[in-house]
Amino acid sequence: MNPHSASGSETESFIPAPGATRGKPVGTGVAIRGTGAYTPEKVLTNDDITHLVDTTDEWIVTRTGIRERRIAAPDETAADMAVRAGARALEKAGLNPADIDLVIVATITPDMPFPSTACLVQDRLGMGPVCAFDVEAACSGFIYITEIATSMLQSGRFHNALVIGTEKLSSILDWNDRSTCVLFGDGAGAAVLSREENGNGDGGRGIIDTRLGADGSASNILYMPGGGCRIPATAASVTAGHHFLKMNGREVFKIAVRIMGQASQDILTDNNLGLGDAALIIPHQANSRIIEMLSERMKLPMDRFHMNLDRLGNTSAASVPLALDEAVEQGKIRPGDYVVLVAFGAGLTWGATLLRW
Ligand SMILES: CC(C)(COP(=O)(O)OP(=O)(O)OC[C@H]1O[C@@H](n2cnc3c(N)ncnc32)[C@H](O)[C@@H]1OP(=O)(O)O)[C@@H](O)C(=O)NCCC(=O)NCCS
């Protein structure tokens, strides 16, 4: 991995002129208008998992911070969950499905390889025949689709976008592998993004900036080998466990701390803000120890980091929007606050978004 590629900041850094006073960050003219969340009813506790694999509640809590996670019903799909989260985001945004002209879904557990889950959601929510597609960037998916939607809205050809991260990770977990099955859960989180008619270029509310990155040379530390064209589904591939998520947890952990720290710092400093200017960081909910190390690295107290992984585990592309919606509902984000969304995931991929609420 090239540590310098972690942020893209070498080419895009904001370098104030000598002696210049700190200016306000410049916005994109796009803002989050509403958020929504859905988690399945079934709660699977750590104690429940001790009946499946050789583990303990104490091990899971100490190493990850996770106490329980939600598991979708057998017939409940990523699209089902996305529809519920998306409908809630529309309601909170005060918009109707007919107002949306762009639907982007981030998921690594689509209902089917094709058609896209976004097309299923578009139909089920009763939208018009508008642009709909999926993006696969694993746990960074929501940051990726927020940036894609922001750029498409900025183009002037789209007005209101529904972006959704949704996952049924329980469907790709090996429930005999204690090193992975304890970590993940199911759910969906959504946001409606709109062009701000009056613009937000002068420190107003909205998305300010995003950094995205990827390093495919680390694709072998978190992946699912089967189901694509390299290992299509056969009786042998299923027996060999190729359709389950595989992970080198220790390697992922080390890289996650470094990348999320770098991306969060760069997005703030590149926009001429101090680290302490972030009222709230919404990190990908993978492991409480990763977030604690992020807090040490950024020298920010833990109450500046929103966490819900104790109750939901790691929900991949749904993780950041679920946490964002919860923070909004709990009144932890106030108008005018600077908020950083930051994530990393398989690919490896990573991203950070700076916004003003
Ligand atoms: C997975 C993770 C929790 C493991 O924690 P760790 O401290 O690195 O633990 P290790 O992998 O070194 O394993 C330590 C021991 O615990 C054991 N162990 C692993 N899972 C266990 C479990 N659920 N219960 C009990 N013991 C377990 C291992 O077998 C190992 O035993 P050994 O020393 O006898 O070989 C941690 O590495 C992690 O969170 N990594 C990041 C994962 C992640 O975020 N993935 C998603 C990215 S989007």
Q: What is the mean pLDDT of the chain?
A: 92
The model's confidence at residue 205, banded by pLDDT at 50, 70 and 90, is: confident
179 lines ligand 1 (CB under 6 A): yes
Q: Measure the CA–CA gap between 65 and 162, rounded to whole angstroms.
A: 31
139 is catalytic: yes
Distance between CA atoms of residues 312 and 337, nearest Å: 25
What does the longest C-alpha to C-alpha distance in the chain come to?
68
Q: What percent of the chain has pLDDT over 90?
A: 89
How deeply is 232 buried, as exposed, middle or buried, from its count of CB atoms within 10 A (0-12, 13-18, 19+)? exposed
Give the domains, in start order, of the chain with CATH numbers.
1-357 (3.40.47.10)
Question: Mind listing the pLDDT tens digit for each residue in 123-135?
Answer: 999 999 999 999 9
Atom of ligand 1 nearest to the CA of 252: 41
285 Cβ inside 6 Å of ligand 1 = no
Give the number of the atom of ligand 1 that is nearest the alpha carbon of residue 286.
44
For residue 6, pLDDT over 50 is answered with no
CA of 63 to the centre of ligand 1 (A): 7
At residue 1, the pLDDT reads: 36
- For residue 131, CA distances in Å to 104, 105, 182, 236 come to 8, 11, 37, 38
Is 314 an annotated catalytic residue?
A: yes
* Ligand 1 contacts CB of residue 55 (under 6 A): yes
pLDDT at residue 114 greater than cutoff 70: yes
Q: Is 306 exposed, middle or buried (0-12, 13-18, 19+ CB in 10 A)?
A: buried
Nearest CA to ligand 1 atom 25: 55
User: What average pLDDT does the segment 231-244 reach?
Assistant: 97
Beta carbons of 266 and 15 less than 8 angstroms apart: no
Query: What is the reported pTM?
Result: 0.93
Instruction: Say how many Å lie between the CA of residue 179 and the centre of ligand 1.
Output: 5
